Amino acid sequence: MREGCALVTGASRGIGAAIATVLAEDGWPVGINYRSDEDGANKVVAAIEANGGKAIALQADVADVAAAEPMFKQLEETFGPVLVLVNNAGVRADALSPQIEDDDWNRVLDTNLSAAFWTTRRALRQMLRARFGRIVNVASVVGPRANAGQANYAASKAGLIGLTKTVAVEVARRGVTVNAVAPGYVDTAFTADLNMNGNIADHVPARRAGTPEEVAACVRFLAGEQASYVTGTTLTVDGGMSA
């Protein structure tokens, strides 16, 4: 295990919590970023520590560009350089395009896309110096395929995939990989209000929702040593929705 740590944004529950858990199981001390769910973040930290791992809760609204630096400094002072970054924080504000307000457009883009750029830019300082790094961006199948009522969300996730590819090419020579995972319908609080004319699982070839753990397993691979020749790609985790 290299000397350093991992940072997972939006990790107080759901997919982010599952990702933080598996990274801790692989020996990484983990920063559990959260915006408002302090209790959830502390529970994730407690579960990791109970299993013999190391973790710390980090409050920061990643949609604020000024939040990245103090969050990284606190984590680096505790566990060392961030060598694994998982940009998982995300929000939705669904509406048909004519009804999307400016504030909802900006909030979704800032949280889902701009924040990933800001944290990536900051993390690359140490990764390039160490000549090792793993960045995994949690995108969505909604990025490359249309989903009415989610123009802001789709734009943010499509942009995240484009960011992933571009940064991957820029840093590939320095031992840093940059990839994305694109979940489909995963059973979390984030998707609890979704409805596609009835049972959403009917639209999934696998006929079921995915689990946070199934997404986390893919992130675990991309963050590992064995994925050193995988970069600039998007791993779809959707039960066949995009086939």
Note every long-range contact of 47-51, with CB atoms under 8 Å and residues 24 or more positions apart, other chains counting: 47/21, 48/20, 48/21, 48/24, 51/21, 51/24, 51/25
Look at residue 43 in the predicted model and tell me its pLDDT: 98
The predicted pLDDT at position 197 comes to: 45
Beta bridge partners of 137: 87, 180
The phi, psi pair for 225, rounded to 5°, reads -65, -35
pTM score of the predicted model = 0.94
DSSP state of 193: T
Domain architecture of the chain: domains with CATH: 5-237 (3.40.50.720)
In angstroms, the CA 74 to CA 76 distance is: 6
| CA distance linking residue 127 with residue 13, whole number of Å | 27
The pLDDT of residue 147: 81
pLDDT tens column, 78-99 = 999 999 999 999 999 889 999 9
Give 199-226 pLDDT, tens digit per residue. 777 778 888 989 999 999 999 999 999 9
Write the single-letter amino acid at 9: T
Q: Which helix (H) or strand (E) holds 165?
A: helix 151-171
Task: Give the residue numbers marked as catalytic.
Answer: 153
Give ∠ CA 47-52-55 in degrees, rounded to 5.
Answer: 60
The model's pLDDT over 125-174, given as tens digits with 9 standing for 90+, comes to: 999 999 999 999 999 998 888 788 999 999 999 999 999 999 999 999 99
pLDDT, residue 190, reads 61
Q: pLDDT (tens digit, 9 = 90+) per residue, 35-74?
A: 999 999 999 999 999 999 999 999 999 999 999 999 999 9
17: pLDDT strictly greater than 90: yes
Please state the φ and ψ torsions of residue 10, each to the nearest 5 degrees: 60, 50
